[in-house]
Amino acid sequence: MIVKAVKQILFFFFTFFICAKPQLIFSNATGTHYEIGRQLGLANKDRILDYMATTNVEDLLVWIQTGEGRDIYSGVFAASNARYPQYINELKGVSDGSGIAFDKILLLNLYEVNLAYKQRAIRPRGSDGTKGCTDIHVKREDLWLLGHNEDMSVEWPDRFCWMTNAQVNEGNSNYSFKAFTYPGTAPGIAFGWNSNRMILTINYLYPLNINPNGVSITFLCRDILSATSIEDVLTKIPPNRGSGVSMNVVSLNEKRSLNIEISSTAFSVYEVKTNFSHVNMYKVLDEQQQIKPTSPHRQARINQFNVPASAQDVLDILGDTEDSEYPIYRRYTELDNDSTVATVLFDLSTETVSYTHLTLPTKRIV
């Protein structure tokens, strides 16, 4: 499917044209955090069940009954609930709407539990839910772009994902957002944007240092979807972080683009002035980490390109398959167990966005 969003009076109110199948659905929700979660769970129950069947949730349910697994699960959940009760309520809504047990929904979202489980060399029966993504920034006087490939470790991702289109009305929170969403997970861990004219794309990272009493990165990313400014983004980074992530953040109002790398002990802020790229490994922070072969391959291939001079140049990089083993645009193989689920291109100079959900990179459009 190809979906193209055309600029209207305000940047974040787009008209989407469905041009091919399979269709990526939009899931609309309005109300409190719990109500939004319940509406998403009710509308997408079958997708959540199908997706969960591909994951290692059942293995995790067993592991969190052990001493170490129980400690990490309890500690990360307690810290996350203390700082982000509104997003825990969203997940409770998803559980109630879908009829799926809350502990299973929660395990889809506690990234640190999954990360710790994998580090113990326990091989899961299904997908471990890891994500890999590629981002390209370009910023100069006449051109301002952010392109993002969304990659996911499921063999047939087309039938799972949706775009959440939500209006939050709870207490002092009154904003809308759109976000690419994986079934049962909090919006914010892929890419999205909000009515405050803030844009977010995510690169998962795999640090070896996990804080068993830190808040989950999943809920930090969800919180960034409510941000109003760059300063607000930085104040939202909690001191007790469970693990790490790379966030690409744009403020249209302030005309700023940042990459923020986060670990459990530090974070870096890199302001994009010319061009910048990021994959699924730390680039600024000196962190012990797991690096999958695909990340250095993708970064090395990106480095072979000239600095992009147009939107098409960015799409050419994101659609590149020159590396036969670990291409930038990814298809599920025995060697590389991720697929490129979607590509999004933000033309920030003209305040437009193009979005594709395809099986072939040659069909991308601007």
pLDDT of residue 16: 29
Mean pLDDT of 120-130: 49
DSSP label of 307: P
Q: Is the Cα torsion angle 317, 192, 239, 87 positive or negative in sign? A: negative
pLDDT of residue 132: 83
355 vs 328: CA distance, rounded Å: 17
| Whether pLDDT at 363 is above 60 | no
The string of pLDDT tens digits covering residues 20-43 is 334 578 899 999 999 999 999 999
Decide which of 117 and 130 is more confident.
117
Of 123, 96, 106, 121, the C-alpha closest to 64 is 106
| Whether pLDDT at 1 is above 60 | no
Task: Specify which of 61-70, 279-288, 342-351 reaches the highest per-range mean pLDDT.
Answer: 279-288
pLDDT of residue 152: 86
Q: Which of 106-115, 148-157, 176-185 has the lowest mean pLDDT?
A: 148-157
Task: Report residue 10's pLDDT band, with 50, 70 and 90 as the boundaries.
Answer: very low
Q: In angstroms, how far is CA 301 from the centroid of its own chain?
A: 22
Class of residue 212 by CB neighbours under 10 A (exposed 0-12, middle 13-18, buried 19+): middle
pLDDT of residue 156: 54
Backbone angles phi, psi at 356, to 5 degrees: -125, 150
pLDDT of residue 140: 93
Mean residue pLDDT across the chain: 87
Q: How far is CA 133 from CA 95, 140, 254, 326, 358, in A?
A: 28, 24, 26, 13, 16
78 vs 106: CA distance, rounded Å: 12
Mean pLDDT of 242-271: 97
Please say whether the beta carbons of 89 and 34 come within 8 A: yes
Task: Report residue 337's pLDDT band, with 50, 70 and 90 as the boundaries.
Answer: confident
pLDDT of residue 353: 86
Task: Report residue 354's pLDDT band, with 50, 70 and 90 as the boundaries.
Answer: confident
Q: How many residues does the chain have?
A: 366
324 vs 318: CA distance, rounded Å: 15
Alpha helices, H only, the chain: 33-43, 45-52, 57-63, 67-83, 85-98, 102-109, 111-119, 217-224, 230-235, 294-303, 311-318
- Enter the pTM of the model: 0.89
119 vs 117: CA distance, rounded Å: 5
The string of pLDDT tens digits covering residues 184-200 is 999 999 999 999 999 99
Backbone angles phi, psi at 52, to 5 degrees: -60, -30
pLDDT of residue 23: 57
| Whether pLDDT at 109 is above 80 | yes
Percentage of the chain exceeding pLDDT 70 = 86
Q: What is the dihedral of CA 82, 260, 133, 64, to 10 degrees?
A: -30
Identify the three-state secondary structure at position 41: helix
DSSP label of 119: H
| Whether pLDDT at 245 is above 90 | yes
Please say whether the beta carbons of 357 and 24 come within 8 A: yes
